[in-house]
Structure 1
Amino acid sequence: SLDEDGVLRFGGDWVSLPPVEGRLTTALLENWGAVVSRDTLSRAGWPQGAPGRNALDVHVLRLRRRIQAVGLVIKTVRNRGYLLEAAKLPN
């Protein structure tokens, strides 16, 4: 779960996320087990309009690194988007 302070908790672990990464995580969590398109993530991360294609790539890369600590992974589904899933079973 992601709280209003940007703290993501999963399997007894937690990690603090910056605002944009928190919004991306919320979109992925709301669609747990489903592929989320790049357009959907861009709209979630930047409600006023994405600053550019590379911005999403950079933030997803950073988010992947951060959420490894809590046992989550973001998989790329070619030509479709991204999928959030557990890397391990929660404790």
Structure 2
Amino acid sequence: MKAVSHRAATPRSAGSEFLETRFGSRELRITVTMQPDRLVTDQALPEGDAVQVTVLENPFRLTRDLTNILGSAKSGDALVLVCAHAGLYRSALKFLGVV
């Protein structure tokens, strides 16, 4: 299954992308960030009961981790993907169909 994303029409926060993503039949709101503290400062964290936060640290497991995360999410969920470094950030965006 392939993810298809486009940038959401929401306020930006430095070091983050806000995406509306389709994965299979699911519609997800995904925030990919390298600067989670900045999201808090900018008050840009997603709200609601169905917000999942995951830290991505291992570039060798990125594809498997993202497939599992997106596969277990329910339509309408909000995901925050915190990337440990710039390489993971770019790779996550590529996996999500943005770059």
Q: TM-score, normalised by structure 2?
A: 0.29
| Between structures 1 and 2, the one with greater strand share | 2
| Between structures 1 and 2, the one with greater helix share | 1
